[in-house]
Amino acid sequence: MAIGGEFMRRLLQDAGLRPSMRVLDAGCGSGDVTLIAAELVGSAGHVVGIDRSVGVVHAARERASAAGVGNVTFETRDIDDPPEGPFDAVVGRRVLMYHPDPVRAVRGLAAALREGGIAAFHEHAAVEPLSGDGLMLHRTAQGWLHETIRREDGNGRIGMELHAVLTQAGLNVVEVRAEAVVQTPTQHYALASIVGAVLPRIVERGVATADEIDIGTLEARLDAERIASGSTYVADMMFGAWGQKR
Ligand SMILES: C[S@@+](CC[C@H](N)C(=O)[O-])C[C@H]1O[C@@H](n2cnc3c(N)ncnc32)[C@H](O)[C@@H]1O
């Protein structure tokens, strides 16, 4: 499961996703969250995943079909143009950060909710490293990600803004929660895999070269750095927020 999978599952459960519900996953990517939601709503429920990228929608469909998951459908759509509701819940992970006007996006998605319906979002916020003395490679690798998001006009701090975004979109905010992403000498985090997944964008945006990143050895170098320093490193918070349509 991708980064934050367990966090998202708890968020959806606590926000109130239940069997039989009809759910919209906004900016579904290759379907990680769609599949979690599909499990929670069960065979009597249904989840529609939408994404503006044709390629990821195709991949999500193939993946669900290969896994024999029948209660999901995927559509190539912008989140500003949601499918017809009403949905019992609209959910999304790491998608509002890429929207130029997240309040407008959430308001538009909430319009497809029934009265009392749930809106639940998982986003991140970069924080100044709380620790990490000597962990220069960790700071550098995290910096590649943050700078790439910044150059793509993404909002790397939107987790901190979720309460305001949901409120301004007209929702009653029920809860905002956060967990730190913690790395220790013995606690691995998928930083190198994330850098690997984002590598073409890092290079394309001119943030770092493939040689500087040296993805083939990055994970081993990060692990070695934490083990040598004995430090704990925190530079990223996962935020979850949910609200209800009035
Ligand atoms: C970081 S990925 C997250 C994918 C998925 N939610 C997950 O957590 O695995 C962001 C996704 O949002 C999609 N996206 C960004 N802005 C969008 C928009 N305005 N409408 C539809 N999809 C959008 C991108 O195409 C991408 O697949």
As a whole number of angstroms, the distance between CA 149 and CA 137 comes to 19
Whose Cα sits closest to atom 13 in ligand 1?
Answer: 27
> How far is the centre of ligand 1, averaged over its atoms, from the C-alpha of 88 (Å)?
21
Ligand 1, atom 10: closest residue by C-alpha? 95
Q: What is the pLDDT of residues 182-209, one digit of tens each?
A: 889 998 888 999 999 999 999 999 999 9
Each residue's pLDDT tens digit, 89-112 = 999 999 999 999 999 999 999 999
Residue nearest to atom 23 of ligand 1 (CA): 27
Element (H, E) at 84: none
* Tokens encoding 142: 């995290």
**pLDDT for 130 beyond 70:** yes
- pLDDT tens figures, 204-239: 999 999 999 999 999 999 999 999 999 888 888 999
- Predicted confidence (pLDDT) at residue 172 exceeds the cutoff of 80: yes
Residue nearest (by alpha carbon) to ligand 1 atom 25: 53
Contacts of 126 (CB under 8 A, 6+ apart): 142, 146, 156, 157, 235, 236
Ligand 1 atom 12 nearest Cα: 27
pLDDT at 3: 58
181: DSSP letter: E
Report the residue among 35, 61, 95, 97 best suited for mutation to probe ligand 1: largest number of ligand atoms under 8 A from its CB.
Answer: 95
Q: Which atom of ligand 1 is nearest to the CA of 79?
A: 20
The pLDDT value recorded for residue 84 is: 94
CA of 231 to the centre of ligand 1 (A): 33
Q: What is the DSSP string of 57-81?
A: HHHHHHHHHHTT--SEEEEE--TTS
- Closest ligand 1 atom to Cα of 4: 8
**Which pLDDT value is given to residue 4?**
67
Q: What is the pLDDT of residues 44-84, one digit of tens each?
A: 999 999 999 999 999 999 999 999 999 999 999 999 999 99
How many angstroms is it from 227 CA to the middle of ligand 1?
Answer: 35
Report the pLDDT averaged over residues 10-33: 98
Gap between the Cα atoms of 144 and 134, Å rounded: 18
Q: Structure pTM?
A: 0.92
DSSP 214: -
Q: What is the pLDDT of residues 23-48, one digit of tens each?
A: 999 999 999 999 999 999 999 999 99
Q: Is the pLDDT of residue 156 over 80?
A: yes
Quick one: 40 exposed, middle or buried, by C-beta within 10 A (0-12, 13-18, 19+)? buried
Query: Residue 128: its pLDDT value, please?
Result: 82
CA angle 66, 72, 78 (to 5 degrees): 110
